[in-house]
Amino acid sequence: MKDKKLRLGILGLGEGRSTISAALSSPKVELVKMCDLNIDVCKQRAKEFDFHDYTTKYEDLLNDASIEAIAIYTPDHLHASHIKLALQHDKHVVCTKPLIDDLKDAAELIEIQKKTGKKLFVGQSSRFFQPMKRQRMDFEDGLIGDLVTVEAYYNADHRWFLEKPWALEDSFKWLYGGLSHPVDFIRWYLPEVEEVMGYGMLSENGKKGGLKNYDTMQFIYKSKDGRIARVGGAYSGPVQPVQRDSEMSCILRGNLGCSQGDYMDLRYAITDKDGEERMITWEHKLKHFFRFEGKSHHAGEYENYLNYFADSIQKDFTAYPDLIEGIGTIVLLKAMERSLASGKPEKTSKIIQEFGLEEYLQ
Ligand SMILES: NC(=O)c1ccc[n+]([C@@H]2O[C@H](COP(=O)([O-])OP(=O)(O)OC[C@H]3O[C@@H](n4cnc5c(N)ncnc54)[C@H](O)[C@@H]3O)[C@@H](O)[C@H]2O)c1
């Protein structure tokens, strides 16, 4: 049927709250059931959205034959096992970032996906924000010419996040939880990074909050074709006023022009190939992107990506980032982690080999 809606189940209702809102307002998605281990969270969301089909058992989503796709928003270290179960139960999958935080399951996930033929899409929200969509379109239209270098960053005062119990576990790393956003920008424009070098530290604020791993990091990258890029992030201290600087930003420097997408601020600026300078904002889209308190959530981006994913199933094309592209980003994050430990440049090819991914990734 042509205009059939994608029947969706949502797992994890913290940030999954944005996905509930996105699914309920999307013309292409039908929310069937939502799930959280914590019954109080289920009840809170049911009341907030007046949507009462919830469960505390993941099996209830997995065994519901009417659910075609599962959207996963559980803590980072649980994504691999939750994805595996969804694929094994013949469901398409949307998984939030970071796709996984360890490569030990990567080859198995690829094999399971191949066997089941189901689609997996990484909910890499930052690509689906208006300024970043516009930046990509202008880049593809040749407005800045050939890309020379990329600079991306994501800094945020995320001390509030440390109230979540899993944020203080050894397994939680801002490297994966935070830098996966700007690192995805690097891979979007320079997919073939072969080497990375970086430094990191755990700040006094982070230590005080109980964090176990680095909260402050800077990296530089070299691509196979010689082009270079850089990424940075700091997560336990105040940030600049939004009029002066964005929390998350991507700068593309081309041979003919330059552009910058500012994430939360719905702001984009370009000096194009004809020497024209433009600054664009989307005030009228504020209500699409931000629906609850302030700008602390991602409902608008999620609706954009759910629509794209639903189209990919309806029209049978691949929605990107897919599993292979997503694992490529985790390979790069792993090389970054190695560089933090060794204090030396690290090659992505070494990581690919170590985790037996040569036949899947170049
Ligand atoms: N921009 C973005 O894309 C974005 C933004 C925020 C968070 N996230 C991602 O969303 C994920 C969740 O983060 P959060 O901030 O919502 O954390 P959270 O702790 O607030 O919520 C996670 C929820 O998952 C539930 N849960 C845990 N194990 C479960 C299980 N086995 N079955 C069912 N429910 C289970 C918990 O009870 C909790 O309510 C993380 O991977 C995070 O990186 C993405």
Distance 79 CA to ligand 1 centre (A): 10
Positive or negative, the Cα torsion across 341, 172, 62, 330? negative
Mean pLDDT of 20-25: 97
Residue closest by Cα to atom 17 of ligand 1: 14
Taking Cα atoms as reference points, which of 213, 245, 232, 236 lies closest to residue 157?
236
pLDDT (mean) for 308-312: 98
Retrieve residue 88's tokens. 């094994």
The tens digit of pLDDT for each residue in 208-228 reads 999 999 999 999 999 999 999
Q: What is the pLDDT of residue 2?
A: 56
- If one residue of 96, 126, 172 were mutated to test the ligand 1 pocket, choosing by the most ligand atoms within 8 A of its CB, it would be 96
CA of 73 to the centre of ligand 1 (A): 4
Query: Looking at the predicted structure, is the pLDDT value of residue 1 above 70?
Result: no
pLDDT, tens digit, 9 for 90 and up, residues 159-196: 999 999 999 999 999 999 999 999 999 999 999 999 99
Of residues 129, 329, 161, 304, the one with CA closest to residue 231: 329
**pLDDT surpassing 80 at residue 3:** no
Q: What is the pLDDT of residues 234-251, one digit of tens each?
A: 999 999 998 899 999 999
The residue type found at 116 is: T
Query: d(Cα 328, Cα 326) in Å, to the nearest integer?
Result: 5
Contacts of 132 (CB under 8 A, 6+ apart): 126, 185, 250, 261, 263
Task: Please report the pLDDT score of residue 300 as a whole number.
Answer: 94
Domains and CATH numbers, the chain: 127-283 (3.30.360.10)
Q: Report pLDDT digits (tens) over 40-51.
A: 999 999 999 999
Number of other CB atoms surrounding residue 238 within 10 Å: 11
Atom of ligand 1 nearest to the CA of 161: 15
**Minimum CA distance residue for ligand 1 atom 30:** 37
Average pLDDT over residues 144-154: 98
CB atoms within 10 A of CB 206: 23
Dihedral sign of CA atoms 20, 163, 339, 351 in order = negative
14 in contact with ligand 1, CB cutoff 6 A: yes
Query: What pLDDT was estimated at residue 362?
Result: 67
Structure tokens belonging to residue 96: 């939030």
Across residues 19-24, what is the average pLDDT? 98
Task: Name the residue with the closest Cα to ligand 1, atom 31.
Answer: 37
Going by alpha carbons, the residue nearest to atom 23 of ligand 1 is 12
CB 340 within 8 A of CB 175: yes
Please identify, by atom number, the ligand 1 atom nearest to the C-alpha of residue 38.
37
pLDDT of residue 243: 86
Q: Give the model's pLDDT for residue 108.
A: 97
Tell whether the model's pLDDT for residue 333 goes beyond 70.
yes
Residue carrying the six token digits 């059931």: 33
CB 144 within 8 A of CB 193: no
User: Does residue 73 have its Cβ closer than 6 Å to ligand 1?
Assistant: yes
Strands 29-35 and 69-72: unpaired
What is the pLDDT, as a whole number, of residue 286? 86
Average pLDDT of the residues in 336-347: 98
Q: Is the pLDDT of residue 294 over 90?
A: no
Q: pLDDT band at 202, cuts 50/70/90?
A: very high
